[in-house]
Amino acid sequence: MGVTDLERARKFYTDILGLEELARPPFGFPGAWFSVGASQQVHLIVHPHSTFRTGKGLDNRDGHFAVRVASYRQTVKYLRSKGYGEDAGDDLFQRMTLQPHATAGFPQIYILDPDRNVIEINAAQWD
C-alpha cells in the first residue's frame, strides 16, 4: 500500500487498527510491514510514483483490503471512541460506513487510512 508519510501511517496502523509492526528487510526505500492475523501481512511503501486515491472519498467498491475481527459491535464501539462516525461531517478520515447486514453475508465496516487507502473490517457474525 502506498503511503506519503510513513510515521503518520505507522501511527494509524498500530493505534487505530492495532496491528503489530514486523521487522522489515533493509530495502533501499522507506516502508513498514505489519502482521495481520497469524499468516498475513500489510506492506506500506513510500514511493514517489505511487498511485493514490487523491481526491476520492470512502468508496467500498474501490480497491481495498479486509481484516476480520472477533466482534463487529465491539469494533464499532472502539472506532467511535477514536472519533469515527457515520456522519463525521467534513472529516473524511473519521468517517466510517457500516453495513451490519451486508450482502456478503457478514457485517462490514469501511474506513480510510491517512492516504485514502480503503480498509474493510468485517466479522463472522453481527456480535
**At 89, which CATH number?**
3.10.180.10
Residue pLDDT, tens place only, 1-37: 889 999 999 999 999 999 999 999 999 999 999 999 8
Residue 89 has pLDDT above 70, yes or no: no
Alpha-carbon 79 to chain mean position: 11
What's the confidence (pLDDT) of residue 24?
A: 97
| Claim to verify: residue 65 and residue 91 sit in the same structural domain | yes
| Claim to verify: residue 64 and residue 123 sit in the same structural domain | yes
Q: What angle do CA 7, 91, 69 make, to 5 degrees?
A: 65
What's the confidence (pLDDT) of residue 26?
A: 94
How many percent of the chain have pLDDT more than 70? Answer: 96
| Claim to verify: residue 106 and residue 74 sit in the same structural domain | yes
Return the exposure string of 87-121: e unless at least 16 CB atoms fall within 10 Å of the residue's CB, then b.
eeeeeeeebbbbbeeeeeebbbbbbbbebbbbbbb
| Claim to verify: residue 43 and residue 66 sit in the same structural domain | no
- How many domains in the chain? 2
Instruction: Specify the amino acid at residue 48.
Output: P
Q: Domain range spanning residue 80?
A: 60-127
54 domain-assigned = no
- Give burial (CB, 10 Å; 0-12/13-18/19+) of 9: buried
What's the confidence (pLDDT) of residue 84?
A: 93
95 domain-assigned = yes
